[in-house]
């Protein structure tokens, strides 16, 4: 855990409270090999909107990994490591094909599961494509959102269907996409904080939701 600043008990005591606490990297870092990153990789993560996958591939960054997402002309969605294993070219500039994506540099063709389908420029009797694969992750589409599973293949869970997805009289649609230059824990903490809505979103700014949000709630945590 990160070191925390000591509690301040002296008025005008800023001199004793100058050090900024260090980031709690065990919770906030989600890259490969980190404790929280490995934990999050055991679950399906939202990756992009379905309608973003058109004729061109898109570059995405998920759990600290640079990836490329695309929908091939058969309708299958792929999520591959960004750089071609042949010469390192970004597959962001690849050509979406009937099956998979083709590197723009030498034309190597990769299927959505990472299988190498074609290796132009190799000898006709080359078995390279039959012995190697490119990094790829499973995807799942649900109600306009594409999800990815980035954990160990042998522990991939079923895609969860929560009760909030099927409420009678309600239609489930994707929300807006936001970019926040901070870690996931800061966003989650804010979403779970019902007090700030009374001030930030109502008293300070004027009512951004409904006037009821201006009431400071009574809190009871279980």
What DSSP assignment string belongs to 125-162? T--HHHH-B--B--EEEETTEEEEE-S-GGGPPPPP--
* Whether the predicted model's global pTM rises above the 0.95 cut: no
Q: In whole numbers, what is the pLDDT of the chain averaged over residues?
A: 93
91 and 44 in a single domain? The answer is: yes
**Angle CA(116)–CA(118)–CA(124) in degrees, nearest 5?**
125
The domain boundary, picked from 154, 186, 202, lies at 154
Asked whether residue 28 carries a pLDDT value surpassing 90, the answer given is: yes
Could you tell me the residue range of the domain that residue 71 belongs to?
A: 27-154
| CATH number, residue 59 | 2.102.10.10
141 and 57 in a single domain? The answer is: yes
Query: E strands within 26-154?
Result: 44-49, 58-62, 65-71, 77-81, 95-96, 101-102, 109-110, 116-118, 139-142, 145-149
Q: How many domains does the chain have?
A: 2
**Angle CA(180)–CA(184)–CA(189) in degrees, nearest 5?**
100
CA distance 163 to 44: 17
* 83-103 pLDDT, tens digit each: 999 999 999 999 999 999 999
42 and 132 in a single domain? The answer is: yes
Residue 125 inside a domain? The answer is yes
104 and 192 in a single domain? The answer is: no
Residue 166 inside a domain? The answer is no
100 and 202 in a single domain? The answer is: no
Tell me what pLDDT residue 204 has: 87
The domain boundary, picked from 106, 138, 154, lies at 154
* 42-81 pLDDT, tens digit each: 999 999 999 999 999 999 999 999 999 999 999 999 999 9
Residue 99 inside a domain? The answer is yes
193 and 84 in a single domain? The answer is: no
Residue 21 inside a domain? The answer is no
The set of residues, in sequence order, having a beta carbon less than 8 Å from that of 14 and lying 6+ positions away, is none
Tell me what pLDDT residue 100 has: 98
Residue 75 inside a domain? The answer is yes
List the one residue out of 40, 46, 107 whose CA is nearest residue 79: 46
């Amino acid at each position: 855990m990160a070191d925390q600043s000591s509690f301040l008990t002296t008025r005008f005591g800023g001199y004793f409270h100058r050090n900024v606490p260090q980031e709690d990297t065990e919770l906030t870092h989600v890259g490969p090999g980190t404790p929280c990153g490995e934990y999050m990789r055991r679950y399906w993560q939202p990756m992009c909107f379905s309608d973003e996958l058109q004729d061109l591939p898109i570059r995405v960054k998920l759990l600290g990994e640079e990836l490329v997402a695309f929908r091939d002309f058969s309708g299958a969605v792929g999520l591959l490591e960004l750089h071609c294993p042949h010469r390192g070219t970004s597959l962001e500039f690849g050509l979406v094909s009937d099956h998979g994506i083709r590197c723009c540099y030498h034309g190597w063709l990769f299927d959505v599961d990472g299988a190498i389908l074609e290796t132009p420029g190799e000898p006709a009797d080359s078995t390279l494509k039959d012995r190697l694969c490119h990094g790829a992750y499973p995807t799942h589409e649900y109600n306009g959102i594409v999800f990815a599973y980035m954990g160990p293949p042998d522990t991939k869970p079923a895609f969860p269907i929560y009760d909030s997805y099927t409420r009678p009289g309600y239609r489930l649609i994707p929300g807006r996409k936001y970019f926040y230059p901070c870690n996931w824990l800061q966003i989650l903490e804010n979403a779970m904080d019902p007090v700030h809505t009374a001030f930030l979103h109502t008293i300070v700014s004027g009512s951004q939701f409904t006037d009821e949000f201006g009431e400071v709630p009574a809190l009871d945590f279980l």
